[in-house]
Amino acid sequence: MLKLTDNFGRSIHDLRISITDRCNYRCVYCRTGTNGAAYAELPFDDYLRMARILVGLGITKIRLTGGEPLLRKGIVEFVRDLAKLRTLDGKKPEIALTTNGHLLAEIAQPLKDAGLDRVTVSMDAVDPERFARITRVPNGYDSVLAGVRASRQAGLDPVKINCVLLRGFNEDQIIPFGMFTREERVVVRFIEFMPLEEDRVWTPEIVVRLDEIVERMSEYLPLEEMTHEHSETARRYRFSDGVGEIGIIAPVSHPFCGHCSRIRITSDGKLRTCLFSAWDHDLHELMQRGATDEKLTEFIVKVVEKKEERHHIGEPGFVPASRTMVHIGG
């Protein structure tokens, strides 16, 4: 039985598929505000074929991303088709979605009914005015909050909130998010800012690091570190009274490349083995040229074998990724 592994012995079982790089938000740390969609979107049947082959190679988790994936009409049907796939163990793959939440309230229950297991909402402030300044979309906060609550009501648990922290910008939201996780019964995950934005303005000084986040949150309430899966990206903490959980994804200060289990497919059908890859591998072109499933399998296996050992953020000679985050898929 062929299962995806790379030359460093890492088992690859997580797949992220970007189904669009269009977005209805223009978050200041992600987009310049002038650049829109840059790459094509494929028919859902093409993504489904890729996913089917990859699930047959050991993928057990599929996360749909963008851009903003809820902009794609037909996403509920696509989730339903993904849910019909079976892993090597004969189980339905775990299906998750990352979204900005703006369109989530009305579609959360249909997505759950179609087979979606979990949802993660990108949300960088819990103050409506600050939220509008970050997203450059007026009155969006209430829509996102409604989406978060609809997801919990639909049973898409645990609902996770991803917050990217930038120094001098929104690090004062750390404790308010601690309150939010307790009030809304969601898991808040803080993410260290990575050099993946369109403006390419990243510097190490902008990063609010794991240790600082823990220190600040502990000023609100004591934290206890929780155990986590070996390949899990987040360090997990709960408040000492057991109410509320936060996670911290720290690729800059505490890299987790050594147990990375992910590969990505971009909206235009390129295979990427790392967020910071300097090149893409064109899976869709092979499909257009009539490649059989066997040929696609052979191509995927060879690409994954050469997955990068680690990223080089902050090191001399660091080469930025060939695409920015919105064009890769979060």
In the numeric block, which tokens belong to residue 165? 């922290």
Q: State the DSSP string of 203-216.
A: -GGGB--HHHHHHH
Higher pLDDT, 277 or 153: 153
Tell me whether residue 299 is exposed, middle or buried, using C-beta atoms within 10 angstroms of its C-beta: 0 to 12, 13 to 18, 19 or more. middle
- Residue range 264-289: average pLDDT? 91
When mean pLDDT is compared over 93-102, 243-252, 255-264, the highest value belongs to: 93-102
Evaluate if residue 228 carries a pLDDT over 80. Answer: no
Evaluate if residue 33 carries a pLDDT over 90. Answer: no
pLDDT at 141: 97
- How confident is the prediction for the chain on average, in pLDDT? 89
- Residue range 299-311: average pLDDT? 88
CA distance 190 to 16: 20
Reported as a single tens digit per residue, the pLDDT across 132-141 is 998 999 989 9
Predicted confidence band at 204 (pLDDT cuts at 50, 70, 90)?
low
Evaluate if residue 199 carries a pLDDT over 60. Answer: no
CA distance 1 to 58: 9
Which range (15-24, 198-207, 237-246) has the least confidence? 198-207
CA distance 48 to 254: 34
Q: How many CB atoms lie within 10 A of CB 22?
A: 18
Whats the size of the chain, residue-wise? 330
Q: CATH for 14-328? A: 3.20.20.70
Assign residue 217 a region (left: φ > 0; alpha: ψ between -120 and 50; beta: otherwise): alpha
Higher pLDDT, 34 or 83: 83
Evaluate if residue 121 carries a pLDDT over 60. Answer: yes
Q: Could you tell me if 165 and 190 are in contact, meaning their C-beta atoms sit under 8 angstroms apart?
A: yes
Sign of the Cα pseudo-torsion (199, 160, 222, 127, in order): positive
Higher pLDDT, 1 or 182: 182
Higher pLDDT, 123 or 277: 123
Evaluate if residue 230 carries a pLDDT over 70. Answer: no
Evaluate if residue 305 carries a pLDDT over 90. Answer: yes
- Residue range 143-156: average pLDDT? 98
Evaluate if residue 255 carries a pLDDT over 80. Answer: no
CB crowding 93-132: b at 16 or more within 10 Å, else e: bbbbbbbbbbbbbebbbebbebbbbbbbbbbbbbeeebbe
pLDDT at 40: 87
